[in-house]
Amino acid sequence: MSLLETKKLDAFYGDFQALFGIDMHIARAEVIGLIGANGAGKTTLLRALTGLLPAVSHSILFGGQPIGGSRAEALVKRGIAMVPEGRKLFASLSVEENLKLGAATGRHGVWTLDRVYGLFPVLAEKRTAYATTLSGGQQQMVAIGRALMSNPTLLLCDEISLGLAPVVVADVYRALPAIRAAGTGIIVVEQDIGQVLRVADRLYCLREGRVVLQGPAQGMNRQEIAAAYFGAAA
């Protein structure tokens, strides 16, 4: 049974339809790459999965249970956590306070404050600093750590390399194997195709709210991806 599965998932912003019949699935400890141009619907899909956007109940199944349209707070308690686009750290809280808030659901698992500091040692030194005084890469680590503190079974990462230097991006992505080892499934939204091909097991490419390409990352070639990405006639 998949960890999460969507069946003909539609999503709307008011009258505007942003997703058209998305079918996707992810298994435990699997890493899925979600790619597509800006406006293709990647963030929209993540928002629907985390309950920030309404959806038809049966169009999203988590552990076999219909969760579409559930409130975000409830979904975090069930084990879906998101590292939001732009990090969205709490500006008036310290690094440690941000991390501790992530544990507010009280879910148990391998991820504790110490374990997160173990994954990102630099954060331990900066634990009392205001989250927004950190560098971009460090802030990204806090955002990931914060999501991990809820011990999710599914982690959604929205553009975690955005605005970061390649060296820093590598640092951030180095954390993925440890997360996966805990059995967590990860959906990674990325603009950097090369990065995605390195970390993902399978790939979905979105264009204008539809899945236009999917398959194992291993077998994909750049041309296929570019064609799907930009919609150029082959």
Partner 1 sequence: MIGALDIVVQGLLVGGFYALFATGLSLIFGVMRLVNLAHGDVIVLGAFAALFLVQQTGVQPLLCVVLVVPLMAGLGYLLQRAILNRTLGANILPPLLVTFGLSIVIQNGLLLGFSADSQKLPMGHLTIVSVSLLPGLNVGLYPLGVLILAALVIGGLQMFLYRTALGTALRGTSDDPVTIRLMGIDNRHIFGIATALSFAVAGLAGVLMGGYGNFSPAAGPQNLLFGFEAIIIGGLGNLWGTLLGGMILGVAQAIGADIDPGYQVLAGHIAFLAILLAAPRGLFPRMA
Binding site for partner 1 (CB under 8 A): 50-52, 71-73, 76-77, 81-82, 84, 88, 90-93, 97-98, 100-102, 104-105, 146-147, 150
Instruction: Report the nearest approach of partner 1 to the CB of residue 42 (Å).
Output: 17
**Residues contacting 177, CB < 8 A, separation 6+:** none
Nearer to partner 1, 106 or 194 (CB): 106
Helix, strand and coil content of the chain, in percent to the nearest 5, comes to 40, 25, 35
We find the least distance from the C-beta atom of residue 71 to partner 1, in angstroms, to be: 7
Based on the number of CB atoms within 10 Å of its own CB, is 105 exposed (0-12), middle (13-18) or buried (19 or more)?
middle
- Shortest separation between residue 234's beta carbon and partner 1, angstroms: 39
Nearer of residues 12 and 90 to partner 1, judged by Cβ: 90
Compute the CA torsion angle 29, 56, 49, 30 (nearest 10 deg): 20
Please say which residue, 112 or 214, places its beta carbon nearer to partner 1. 112
**Of 95 and 197, CB closest to partner 1:** 95
Cβ 154 to partner 1, closest distance in Å? 13
Rg of the Cα atoms in the chain? 17
